[in-house]
Amino acid sequence: MEIVKTKVAIIGSGPAGLLLGQLLYKAGIDHVIIEQRSAEYVASRIRAGILEQVSVDLLEQAGVDQNLKANGLPHSGIEILTNGKKQRVDLSLLTKGKQVTVYGQTEVTKDLIQAREHAELISFYEAEQVQVDDFYSKPKVTFHYQGKDYQIECDFIAGCDGYHGVCRASVPEDKIKTFEKVYPFGWLGVLADVPPVADELIYVQSERGFALCSMRSETRSRYYLQVPLTDHVEDWSDERFWEELKRRLDPESREKLVTGGSIEKSIAPLRSFVTEPMRFGQLFLAGDAAHIVPPTGAKGLNLAASDIAYLSSALIEYYLDGSEQGINEYSEKCLQRVWKAERFSWWMTHLLHRFETESEFDHKIKQAELSYILSSHAGQTTLAENYVGLPY
C-alpha cells in the first residue's frame, strides 16, 4: 500500500470539492482530491446555472472567473407568470444593486478542472473502494487506484462527494440527524441550441403546473416542466415537450418561443434534505453531501459555494493563524444559511407548483398569495433578497 501524507483530503471533485481545492492551493495549503468518477464524466454533468453575487465573488477569489466574466449573463431581474400575466421583479432595485449571473455549473466545473490541471495538483480520478476512517482521531482515506492500494493520511477530510457519497454514509447513526421532504413531482428539463424566449428567467405558475424558461447563453436555452414522478423521459418527445410548454406560457411568450431538437433531456426528482451537524470530528460535510434543495430557488450550487467559503476560511485560519475558531463554528454558520435557503426553496416550490392533493381552493389561495407578493413592495423585496442570496 502506498502512503500519501497531506493536510486536507477532499472527497469528490464536483464544484464544491474543486473550489475548496483551488482556494487551499491559493493559500499554499497541501491537499489532494479523490473522485470515484472520471474527470470527463464530472465535467459533462448538466446542472444548475444561476450564481449569486457571493458565488461570483468566491470564484474571483479563487482566480477562476475569466470565462465567467467573458461569458456569464448578469441578470438584474426575473419575471413571474401567474393568472396568465407576467410581472417583472427588479432584483437590483430591490436589493441595492445586487444581481445574479447565468453561468452553467458545467462551465464552473470545467473552469475549476482546467485550473487544477494547469497547477498540476494531485487528483485521483476513477478511484475505487473509497473509504474514510478514524475521522474522530487520525483521519485517513483508503482506495484502489490504477492497480494499487493507497492510504491518505491527513489532518482533515472534506466530504464533498454528494448525496450518495461515502462520507455521510460513514458517520455513525447516533452522531447524525437528517431532515427530509420528498416532493410528488419532478422537473423535466430540456437543453436546446435555440435563443431564449426572454432576456430574463420566467417562472410560471399555471393551471397545468409549473414551468421555467431559463438559458445558458444567448444561443442555448434550458426549459423545465413539472411532470409526475411516474413519467419517463421516453414518454416525452421534443414535439410533445414544446407543445406542453406553450400551453403553460402567456400569448406573448408563446409567440416568441423558438423550438428545436433537444441536446439533453432528463427528469429530476425534487427533495429538501438537511444533515445536522455538518462536522464530525475532523470530517466536514459540504454541498450535496450535507443538504439538498429543490431547484426552484436556484440555491443548490450557491449553498455549496457558501459551505466552501466557510470551510476554506476556517482551514486557512487554522493553518496560517493557528486558530480553531472557524473550524469550531463551521457547522453552526453553515446551517444558519442552509435553513434559510431551504425555507425559501420550499416556499417557492410550494407556491409555484400544483400538488396532486391540491384543491381548486388551495390553488386559488396560491394565486392570491403570489398576486399579493407581486403587488407589494415589501413582498417583492423579500423575494428579491432571498433570490440574489442572503449575506454570509
Q: Which residues are catalytic?
A: 75, 203, 295, 299, 387
Query: Are the CB atoms for 202 and 79 separated by under 8 Å?
Result: yes
**Nearest-angstrom CA–CA distance, 365 and 350:** 12
Find how far residue 388's CA is from the centre of its chain: 14
**C-alpha cell read off for 272:** 429538501
Using alpha carbons, list the distances in angstroms from residue 328 to 23, 177, 317, 338, 373: 20, 19, 12, 17, 39
Contacts of 201 (CB under 8 A, 6+ apart): 50, 75, 78, 79, 102, 212, 213, 214, 215
Integer distance in angstroms from the first to the last C-alpha of the chain?
A: 42
